[in-house]
């Protein structure tokens, strides 16, 4: 939790706010490639129920309470990222493009689980994509992060695909950003969706090939029935 708080990302894992499925799906269906083309009438705009929603990295960073100033971080190679998040077990990023999460150290294994659920949704958390690897690397090393751009890029993926074929990232954040701009946009019969249960961590993450780099958490002391967030808050 210390790493997530330091990165200014607490609102992406706890206190998520409300999520309205119809609202989010209409937003995702209506977002177009023009939203990312400077000079276009639709630049940083998405139309939902006839209303214009301003959506950009700046909007996201402002919502999260992060600095609105553009962040230009130091370029890091995938090989450097692989070495850091595996504690030196993997020195070169795999040629196939995905890194097995079995090689991650405990800290990054847990950040990857959170990321696969909250930041870059995937049903294949056993492998780590280069984009998510870079994000957890930046969080784990306390580096500067332009998280607004990360959210924007994740959302823009839907502009060139069948929207409902991809998992939707940050549905709670999208709902709240829309409602902050247009509080009266909801349909009369629409109610918030039920929030998912708290994320849990398998105790196998804390043993075996994972390097034990998180102080205070061990496989011996781990309670498999406790939620990840509760476990981390108590540590």
Question: 123-144: per-residue pLDDT in tens?
Answer: 777 899 999 999 999 999 998 8
Is the pLDDT confidence value at 42 over 90? yes
Average pLDDT over the chain, rounded to whole? 82
**Cβ neighbours of residue 15 under 8 Å, at least 6 residues apart?**
none
pLDDT digits (tens, 9 = 90+) for 87-117: 999 999 999 889 999 899 989 999 998 998 8
pLDDT greater at residue 215 or residue 95: 95
Q: What is residue 217's predicted lDDT score, i.e. its pLDDT? A: 43
- Mean pLDDT throughout 154-167? 74
Tell me the pTM.
Answer: 0.77
């Amino acid at each position: 939790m210390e790493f997530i708080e330091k990165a200014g990302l607490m609102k992406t894992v706890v206190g998520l706010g409300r999520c309205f499925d119809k609202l989010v799906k209409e937003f995702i269906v209506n977002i177009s490639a023009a939203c990312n083309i400077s000079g276009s009438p639709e630049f940083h705009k998405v139309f939902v129920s006839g209303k214009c929603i301003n959506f950009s990295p700046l909007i996201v960073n402002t919502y999260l309470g992060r600095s609105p100033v553009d962040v230009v971080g130091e370029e890091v190679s995938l090989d450097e990222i692989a070495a850091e998040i595996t504690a030196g077990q993997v020195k070169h990023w795999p040629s196939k493009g995905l890194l097995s999460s079995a090689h991650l150290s405990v800290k990054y294994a847990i950040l990857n689980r959170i990321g696969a659920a909250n930041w870059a949704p995937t049903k294949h958390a056993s492998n780590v994509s280069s984009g998510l690897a870079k994000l957890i690397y930046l969080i784990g090393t306390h580096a500067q992060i332009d998280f607004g751009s990360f959210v924007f890029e994740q959302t823009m993926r839907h502009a060139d695909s069948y929207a409902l074929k991809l998992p939707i990232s940050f549905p709670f954040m999208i709902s709240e950003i829309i409602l902050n701009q247009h509080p009266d946009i909801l349909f009369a019969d629409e109610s918030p969706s039920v929030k998912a249960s708290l994320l849990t961590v398998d105790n196998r993450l804390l043993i075996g090939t994972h390097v034990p780099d998180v102080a205070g958490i061990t496989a011996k002391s781990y309670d498999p029935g406790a939620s990840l967030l509760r476990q981390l808050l108590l540590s």
